[in-house]
């Protein structure tokens, strides 16, 4: 797809939360506003996202090209999940996913204390 993982994750989030604010996107990615702006600028140049300003907030949306790429990303994630589930089994795969989610939540709270 010729995108770094961070750009892919940004597209995944915008796909899940159409019209997400830049501020909320920064929080979800745990990155600075200036970094987020550079990422969005690059994705805009590739015609994958666009900004819509409402009052003082900028909302991020996928373009048609971004929607198509997001569908490809989702398919890749689904294939990856199928592959590791076939190797690890359903129960172990679920345990690992749960552990990763819980670890992420702990790390987020640790940043705020």
* pTM of this prediction exceeds 0.95: no
Confidence of residue 78 (pLDDT cuts 50, 70, 90): very high
Confidence of residue 105 (pLDDT cuts 50, 70, 90): confident
Q: What is the pLDDT of residues 16-38, one digit of tens each?
A: 999 999 999 998 888 888 999 99
| Mean model confidence pLDDT for the chain | 90
Do residues 36 and 26 touch, judged by C-beta distance below 8 A? Answer: yes
Q: For residue 92, what are the domain limits?
A: 1-113
Identify the CATH number of the domain in which residue 65 sits.
1.10.10.10
Distances (CA, A) of 87 to 48, 83, 96: 34, 6, 13
| Cβ contacts of 42 within 8 Å, gap of 6 or more | 7
Residue 3 predicted with pLDDT over 60: yes
Residue 46 predicted with pLDDT over 70: yes
**Token pair belonging to 106:** 């702990």
Secondary structure element (H or E) that encloses residue 18, with its range: none
SS3 call for 61: strand
Number of domains the chain contains = 1
């Amino acid at each position: 797809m010729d995108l770094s993982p961070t750009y892919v994750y940004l597209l995944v989030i915008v796909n899940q939360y159409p019209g997400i604010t830049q501020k909320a996107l920064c929080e979800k990615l745990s990155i600075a506003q200036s970094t987020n702006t550079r990422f969005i600028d690059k994705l805009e140049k590739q015609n994958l996202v666009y900004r819509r300003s409402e009052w003082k907030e900028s909302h991020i949306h996928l373009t048609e090209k971004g929607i198509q790429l997001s569908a490809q990303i989702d398919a890749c994630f689904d294939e990856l999940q199928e592959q590791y589930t076939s190797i690890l089994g359903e129960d172990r795969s679920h345990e690992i996913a749960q552990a990763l989610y819980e670890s992420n939540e702990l790390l987020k709270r640790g940043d705020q204390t």
